[in-house]
């Protein structure tokens, strides 16, 4: 991967003149976002940098086994970074960075992302959609740097890779992905624990009840073969859950569709909807086109968007775009 090595070299050169590094990922973070942020935070902190791992929303509590989890901040406060490392975000506004940081000059930005090319920013941009996850790209950077992969690093990287590959089910899972997983497992981490925690196979009772509510509502639009479900703000309060607790549920909803086309909608605040779309490549449905039409983005087979209005209005917009 000569082309990546050249970009990794540029990153290392840029960091030579840095002291304070802000490491950020997207709102409502999934395991790949959290894992890639913590991997880089732990590595750079051990190298003597002053780092701040930032996520605009709290990470899922199920990931609290990850080293450095409780060091993650939702506020930048008075931190004055020399460099911003932005990870796994797709659309730059999803980082929800304060204006003080965005307007800071000079501020060098490094992007590492496996989403499709969108409005990613940076002096150095590594945007590689063919990789299973951003964590997989970070692994290659660490190997380039000759970093020894210990249990803490392996735990973070595996959590991101396993989650974003859907347990190795998604089309972006390659032979290289599985080769990397094998090497990470060889340092002695538990695959069973990671899959339980990241694929929501072992959840608190309130999570299970919330998932049951969503799955019981699943319906199929027979005209478009769209399988869909939703949860509203009253349900979130009732079950004491957040948007982050539903990572992976859209994949389950999509299995109810003859063409594996799924939509999950969350009214996270009254009148504010977040939508998640899933499909599979062998069915030829490119859901990122739908998401972009609604102001969102993502991958051809996994994308998201936000809308104002009701669940019913949002569903109608999506169905109209499919038709």
CATH number of 205-322: 3.10.310.30
For residues 38 and 42, give the distance between their C-alpha atoms in angstroms, rounded to a whole number: 6
Taking CA atoms, 229 is separated from 105, 183, 257, 260, 276, in Å, by 44, 38, 12, 14, 10
Q: What is the mean pLDDT of residues 178-192?
A: 92
Among 48-52, 154-158, 286-290, name the one with the lowest average pLDDT.
286-290
pLDDT of residue 125: 96
Q: Do domains 2-198 and 205-322 have the same CATH topology?
A: no
Cβ–Cβ < 8 Å for 65, 197 = yes
φ, ψ of residue 56 to 5 degrees: the values are -65, -20
Stretch 130-149: mean pLDDT, rounded? 96
Phi-psi region of 79 (alpha: psi -120 to 50; beta: other; left: phi over 0): beta
Average pLDDT of 187-196?
A: 86
Task: Write down the CATH number for the domain with range 2-198.
Answer: 3.90.1640.10
Q: What pLDDT does residue 173 have?
A: 86
- Each residue's pLDDT tens digit, 88-138: 998 898 999 999 898 887 889 999 999 888 889 999 999 998 899 999 999
Burial bucket for residue 85 (CB in 10 Å: 0-12, 13-18, 19+): buried
pLDDT tens digits along 16-38: 999 999 999 998 899 999 999 99
Residue 49 vs residue 117, higher pLDDT: 49
Distance CA 57, CA 309 (A): 22
CB-side neighbour CA atoms (13 Å) of 181? 22
What is the C-alpha to C-alpha distance for residues 111 and 86, in angstroms, rounded to an integer?
A: 5
For the chain, give every domain's residue range. Answer: 2-198, 205-322
Which of 8-22, 33-47, 60-74, 89-103 has the weakest average pLDDT? 89-103
- Report whether pLDDT(282) > 70: no
- pLDDT of 202 above 60: no
d(CA 158, CA 154): 6
């Amino acid at each position: 991967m000569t082309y990546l090595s050249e970009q990794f070299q540029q990153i290392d050169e840029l960091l030579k003149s840095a002291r304070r590094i802000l490491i950020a990922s997207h709102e409502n973070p999934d395991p790949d976002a959290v894992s890639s942020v913590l991997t880089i935070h732990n590595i750079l902190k051990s190298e003597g940098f002053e780092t701040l791992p930032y996520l605009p929303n709290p990470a899922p509590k199920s990931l609290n086994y990850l080293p450095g989890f409780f060091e993650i901040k939702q506020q930048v406060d008075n931190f004055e970074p020399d460099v911003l490392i932005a990870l796994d975000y797709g659309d730059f506004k999803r980082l929800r960075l304060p204006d003080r940081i965005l307007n800071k000059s000079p501020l060098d930005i490094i992007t590492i992302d496996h989403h499709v090319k969108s409005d990613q920013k940076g002096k150095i941009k590594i945007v590689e959609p063919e990789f299973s996850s951003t964590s997989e790209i970070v692994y290659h950077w660490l190997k380039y740097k000759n970093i020894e992969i210990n249990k803490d690093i392996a735990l973070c990287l595996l959590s991101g890779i396993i989650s974003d590959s859907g347990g190795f089910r998604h089309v972006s899972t390659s032979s290289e992905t599985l080769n990397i997983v094998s090497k990470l497992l060889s340092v002695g981490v538990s695959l069973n624990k990671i899959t339980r925690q990241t694929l929501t196979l072992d959840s608190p009772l309130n999570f299970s009840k919330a998932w049951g509510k969503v799955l019981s509502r699943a319906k199929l639009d027979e005209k478009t073969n769209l399988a869909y479900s939703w949860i509203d703000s009253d349900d979130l309060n009732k079950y004491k859950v957040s948007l982050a607790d539903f990572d992976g549920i859209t994949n389950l909803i999509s299995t109810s569709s003859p063409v594996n086309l799924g939509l999950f909608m969350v009214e996270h605040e009254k009148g504010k909807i977040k939508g998640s779309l899933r499909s599979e490549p062998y069915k030829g449905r490119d859901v990122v086109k739908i998401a972009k039409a609604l102001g969102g983005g993502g991958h051809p087979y996994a994308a998201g968007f936000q809308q104002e209005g009701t669940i019913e209005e949002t569903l109608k917009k999506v169905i109209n775009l499919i038709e």
